[in-house]
Structure 1
Amino acid sequence: MSETFSFDQLPSFLVEALKEQKIEQPTDIQIKMIPEALAGQNLIARSQTGTGKTLAYLLPALAKVNKENKNLQVVVLAPTQELAMQVVDVARSLTEKESIVIGSYIGGANINRQIEKLKKQKPQLAIGTPGRLLELLEQKKLKLHEVQVVAVDEADRMMAERPSWEATMQIAKRAGRDTQFLFVSATIPKDFSEQVADAAPFVVQLEAEGSLVNTEKVEHLFIRADERDKIDVARRLIHAENIEKGIVFVNQLDKVSETAEKFSYKGIKTLPLSSDQSKHEREHALRSFQKGETHILVASDVAARGLDLDDVTHIIQLDAPSNSDSYLHRAGRTGRMGKSGTVVTLIDRRSEYKLDKYRRDLKIELAERILARGKLLTK
């Protein structure tokens, strides 16, 4: 695909909406995916987070909506409530001046209220979590007979969570033979084409340019620290780097609140973000962080996947992640859309072997740093 592709192949209302949002140049994944998707190809596209994947599937999907047809025409599936709501926001911002009806159907929200709304008006674009959408289909509140496009966001993550994947495949099979499937993913799982063959027999794989991890603008560092000292080392690091927008990752869910409390006690503006919290608590944490009232989010992997947070400067891994995929997703929270960022992993003796694994799998340089005299210094 030539680099001269612009958004001109899209309907004018989408081109106008992009202009208003000052989005004039497509990213690599958009250059590769949009023309193929407009041509009707089934796709699985790999591109790390922060590279414009949402627009890469939403724009061609919205381009196929026939506004005169009041039936459901596009379905977007996302693995978490937060990600689904972010996609809803993007879709609404693109269709503000168009009469395309968008419905959001997420687990955790009141299903009866969703059913009441459906009685009054059917969506042309439905965005939601797979379990809830399948429930509404089984109750015959939504119908897929005129659906043209099914898009699956974070397909790798969906596959890792059995119930979500089974619901996704159920929806895909009900959509019928002529439906187009667009899968986007930060990694392409093994045997992906075989896994989806029942619903989508021919899937073309696309990969965005660049390594899995942003190595141009993101520094990957590590600090050696004993397990018992890690929270204190992280606290000193936050002060040394004067971090105003950072995420601290922990491996265990039960350590999220405890770590956040210890930071808060030391005067750092911190909030926890975990899958144990209510939707309201998570929304509050994210809003406070985006507004700059909270400087540090302490998060578990599940809570932070798929979050679209702007201007995160630092990722601190209090615990080294168990696998390279997890490192990839955490690191993808910073250095988004060409901005710079820093990922610092705290390594104890037991976890040292993981450094070689990250270097090998992700092709990254990992440089050692020490904290001394209130500064982060090269060893």
Structure 2
Amino acid sequence: MTEDTLMWRPARIAVAAAAIAVAAVTGIALFYHFSDSRKLLLPVRTQRIFLPGRESLPPLRVAGNRILLDRRTPVLFHGVSIPDPSYLDNRNLFRQPLFERIAGLGADVVRVAVRPDQWNTIHDYLDRYLAKAARWAEQNRLYLIIDWQATGNLDTGDLSETTGIDLKQATFAFWDRVSTYFRNAPGVIFEIYGEPSGIDAADWWVYARDLSATIRANAPNQLILVDGIGHGSDLSSFAGRPVPGGNIAYAVHVLPDVAAGGGPGKEWARRFGTLSRTRPVLVSAWGYMEDAPRSDSYLAADRESFGEPLMGYLAAHGIGWIAGWFDDRWKPAMLAPDRRPNGFGSFVAGLLVDFGTTRP
């Protein structure tokens, strides 16, 4: 046991004693815990379901290869991703001004990552983080994508970054609870599994079908995003066999390591371009690093070699996108250590200004 741990123990004991005292006097159990950074997380108000406010956004519907607002107006989403809220909260960054800043850029959607290990550890994660994210997004006219940021094979656990958790059980339980909680929130979108990998297309199709059915049993109307295999980079198998059911779109990750093949966009066409002719496709993660170290060589690119060609391809094919990450630590980062846009972030900010007038 380190000296630091010994110094920290009295604070934990004091908080535990206070919680016991409250329970003894009021009969109410006071739940609390500490974050990984030793930040005391006090209780938050809980509710059975999320109730949208007066700022509720129009419902989304899928028609052919388009996503529609109120069954009429086609929408192409443009926005950014933020890291798991518990990570942001450890740095005192999970606040409403973050969402205001994103909306101010011209975004119409924000994607929030949920790490399975954090969800499993923080018992009130839903009310503490996701309810707040949905409320702040709604107040700023932003759609919210909840991304279950799991990796690997959910059946075997191969290639997963999460340890000590039954990933298959956790994934189905997460969506059963979250879809029930947000079933009346048309501005909330469900992205079922961030980075499927180490699993073949046929097996992933079955899981995508079953996860979508789990959500549909609770939330019959909301938009579902189905990710591709290969760490979310390949949707090609769904072109011939889409997931059954309505209001389903497809999410793909596009990073510089997916080469353009024999010509501009050739590999993009194979992985998601062909599917976009018949089904809605959203690039739910893209980005690059201009000065990537060797350990991040898969992100090495710049605006001219990757950013502009990708944006041109997506515009030509009617595909929306979400850049990530709107952070200075999660990679590819859009922000410098001072939380101001870096080169990648400045490029995205310029793009969002152009799209800002189309927000709902």
Shared fold (TM-score greater than 0.5)?
Answer: no
TM-score by length of 1: 0.29
Query: What TM-score, normalized to structure 2?
Result: 0.30
